């Protein structure tokens, strides 16, 4: 799962929070690697290992911190903290 994108997002197309977070990143023009848990079910174990939970989306930032089911405000605050927006 190597990528030049600074952010990795684990999600699924049936998840409303995933769709919302993906749209937010797209709208902000943020480069990210989307890990589709429908296409790659084994990646759900990776997401759970990172977050300790089974909730999605899991958004992993360049500083190795992460959010689970973040609000748009949470994501925006973290992106500002990292000077990505």
Q: What domain count does the chain have?
A: 1
Domain range for 75: 7-82
Cβ distance 70 to 21 under 8 Å? Answer: yes
Whether 26 is covered by a domain: the verdict is yes
Whether 1 is covered by a domain: the verdict is no
Whether 22 is covered by a domain: the verdict is yes
The CATH code of the domain that includes 27 is 3.40.30.10
**pLDDT per residue of the chain (85 residues) written in tens, 0 to 9:** 445 678 999 999 999 999 999 999 999 999 999 999 999 999 999 999 999 999 999 999 999 999 999 999 999 999 999 999 9
Whether 2 is covered by a domain: the verdict is no
Whether 37 is covered by a domain: the verdict is yes
Cβ distance 37 to 56 under 8 Å? Answer: yes
End-to-end CA gap in the chain:
24
The pLDDT value given to residue 4: 65
């Amino acid at each position: 799962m190597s990528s030049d994108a600074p952010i990795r997002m684990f999600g699924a197309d049936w998840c409303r929070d995933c769709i919302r977070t993906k749209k937010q990143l797209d709208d902000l023009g943020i480069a990210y690697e989307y890990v589709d848990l429908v296409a790659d079910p084994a990646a759900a174990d990776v997401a759970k290992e990172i977050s300790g939970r089974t909730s999605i989306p899991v958004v992993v930032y360049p500083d190795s911190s992460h959010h689970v089911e973040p609000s748009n405000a949470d994501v925006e605050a973290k992106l500002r903290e990292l000077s990505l927006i």
